[in-house]
Structure 1
Amino acid sequence: MNISIVTDSTADISTELALEHDIHVVPAILVLDGRSLEDGRGISREELYRQLPQMKTTPTTAAPSSGSFQNLYETLLQKGADRIISIHVSSLLSGMYNAAVVAAKAFGDRVNVIDSRHVTLGMGYQVLAAAQAARAGKPLDEIQKVIEEIRKRIHLVAMLDTLEYAHRSGRISWSRYNIAHMLKLKPFLGVEDGKVVRLGETRTRQKGVERLYQMLSELGPLDQLAVLHTNAEADALQVVDKFKAMVRHHPLIINVTSIIGVHVGPNGLGFVAVTD
């Protein structure tokens, strides 16, 4: 059976990895100064994060239309796919999963839409595992089991440099923002069962980096590791250098998608780890 794998751009799967594993990516939408741009087009991630502090109008994000998913599903089926597995960002964080579900209705049981309950490489590692299983010729039910199994081993932690951008986008209250701003706290966030959860904070960035190191060390030997950042590549390289010996596969360094980064802001740092 020929099974095609589809995801969206918040999986943070590079163009090279997508081509290597035959993964089809639907871009999310970045709204910048009234213009709707497909994720990755019109402005680079690096340039966006450089410009964010000076922007008078906060960029916003949107899910692609259900028509975008439907057109891709139709194309893949016409090209010979027997079934499609479409894996998307947590339905509690975005409308992309729902848009894919609406599109899939036109194709009956030939399109299976899965809520990853995650974001960035927390979803991306599920997508890569599914693509590898599909290429190995595993049937649909086994690929679904592979996705569920790796999801249980995924851990995502992020340290924000500031809550300003989460506040701008309406993700947090004035009171919480004001307290964090006055104390110059570095908040920690994670993703659990599809929801963003608070994991405390530190008073300085150096203390925050040390806490990231501690949290990563406590996970023990790792199968895979992606170090996430928003224009904080030097810090990300240090994380990889410190932990690469405890990771089975080569670690990834990801300047995260603009769709996530506009809510995180510049100088964010974190990781997605897949435990053994």
Structure 2
Amino acid sequence: MTIAVVTDSTAYLPAELDGMYDLTIVPLTVVINGWGGLEGIEVSPAEVARALTARRAAVSTSRPAPSAFTEVYRRLLDEGADGVVSVHISAKLSGTYEAAQLAAAEIGSRVKVVDSGTAAMGLGFPALAAAEAARKGHDLDAVWQEATDHAARVSTLFYVDTLEFLRRGGRIGAASALLGTALSVKPILHVDEGAVVVRDKVRTAGRALTRLVDLAVEAAGDGEADVAVHHLGTPDRAAALVGDLSARLGDRLRDCYLTEVGAVVAAHTGPGLAGVVVHQRA
């Protein structure tokens, strides 16, 4: 049986995996001062970062249209797929999942959609697991179940220099955003039940990154885990996180990736983002 796997551009899959998995990626759109471009194709995270630091710049994001998913699903089925599993960014963070659901309803039972409940490699890991299951010849339900199971194994933690951009985009409440400015508190955030919430609070950026490592090691548990470190314009900060996590996890660390986030997440977090996604192997 041939099952095609679809995800969206917010998975931020590492470049070293290009060509290793059969995945179709549907891009979201980023709008800068009224001009819209497709993430990863027409607009870069660096462009977003520059716009966010410019005065009077307006940056927003939008989901793919349901018709974009319909077109992709029909093409994959016409090319010989027996079914499609479509794995996407949290429904509480984007309308992408809803758009995919609308398209799936139009196509019928041969398309199943998964809400990963998170973003970035928190989405990427379950999408990769689904692609691996599809490569092994599993049927539609089994590939869907694999994506769902692996989505439950990820923990997404991150630090930002300011919560202002998350507040502007409606991805975090005003009260939590105020917390980040009060008494120079530096909050560490995580994705909980699909939404961005404050996980911990420290006084300095340095302590925040140290605490980020502590929480990631805690999330890994006692078994083997994969880790993805994300950043926006702070490669040195990300490389230091990789080093600290490698030292702390030791032989329990399996795959470790370092990637810059794309334009959509950049639009909502702003420059200075440092994040860790932990994927428990079992």
The TM-score, its normalising length taken from structure 1, stands at 0.92
Taking only the aligned residue pairs, the percentage that are identical comes to 33
Q: CA deviation at 1:189?
A: 1.2
Q: CA deviation at 1:18?
A: 5.1
Identify the residue that residue 158 of structure 1 maps to in structure 2.
Answer: 158
Matched, 1:97 2:84: no
Gaps spanning 5+ residues in structure 1: where? Answer: none
CA contact (8 A) 1:225 1:247 kept: no
Identify the residue that residue 141 of structure 2 maps to in structure 1.
Answer: 141
Identify the residue that residue 214 of structure 1 maps to in structure 2.
Answer: 214
Deviates more, 1:210-219 or 1:261-270: 210-219
Q: CA deviation at 1:41?
A: 2.9
Matched, 1:269 2:274: yes
Identify the residue that residue 68 of structure 2 maps to in structure 1.
Answer: 68
Identify the residue that residue 31 of structure 1 maps to in structure 2.
Answer: 31
Matched, 1:256 2:261: yes
Matched, 1:242 2:244: yes
CA contact (8 A) 2:77 2:83 kept: yes
Identify the residue that residue 17 of structure 2 maps to in structure 1.
Answer: 17
Identify the residue that residue 224 of structure 1 maps to in structure 2.
Answer: 226
1:20/1:117 CA distance change after superposition, 3 Å: same
Matches of residues 56-205 of structure 1 in structure 2 within 5 Å? 56-172=56-172, 176-205=176-205
After superposition, give the CA deviation of every residue in 1:137-174 in whole Å (9 maximum; x if it has no partner).
12222223322322222111111111121233244555
Cα RMSD of the aligned pairs, angstroms, is 1.9
Following the alignment from structure 1 to structure 2, what is the Cα–Cα distance between the partners of residues 200 and 247? 25
SS at the partner of 2:138? coil
Deviates more, 1:98-107 or 1:141-150: 141-150
The TM-score, its normalising length taken from structure 2, stands at 0.90
Following the alignment from structure 1 to structure 2, what is the Cα–Cα distance between the partners of residues 232 and 6? 29
Deviates more, 1:42-51 or 1:231-240: 42-51
After superposition, give the CA deviation of every residue in 1:107-163 in whole Å (9 maximum; x if it has no partner).
211111111112111111000000001001122222233223222221111111111
Deviates more, 1:14-23 or 1:37-46: 14-23
Following the alignment from structure 1 to structure 2, what is the Cα–Cα distance between the partners of residues 259 and 33? 15
Following the alignment from structure 1 to structure 2, what is the Cα–Cα distance between the partners of residues 111 and 162? 39
1:178/1:29 CA distance change after superposition, 3 Å: same
Deviates more, 1:166-175 or 1:115-124: 166-175
Alignment-mate amino acid for residue 91 of structure 1: A
Deviates more, 1:93-102 or 1:124-133: 93-102
Identify the residue that residue 53 of structure 2 maps to in structure 1.
Answer: 53
Gaps spanning 5+ residues in structure 2: where? Answer: none
CA contact (8 A) 2:30 2:43 kept: no
Deviates more, 1:66-75 or 1:46-55: 46-55
Alignment-mate amino acid for residue 70 of structure 1: T
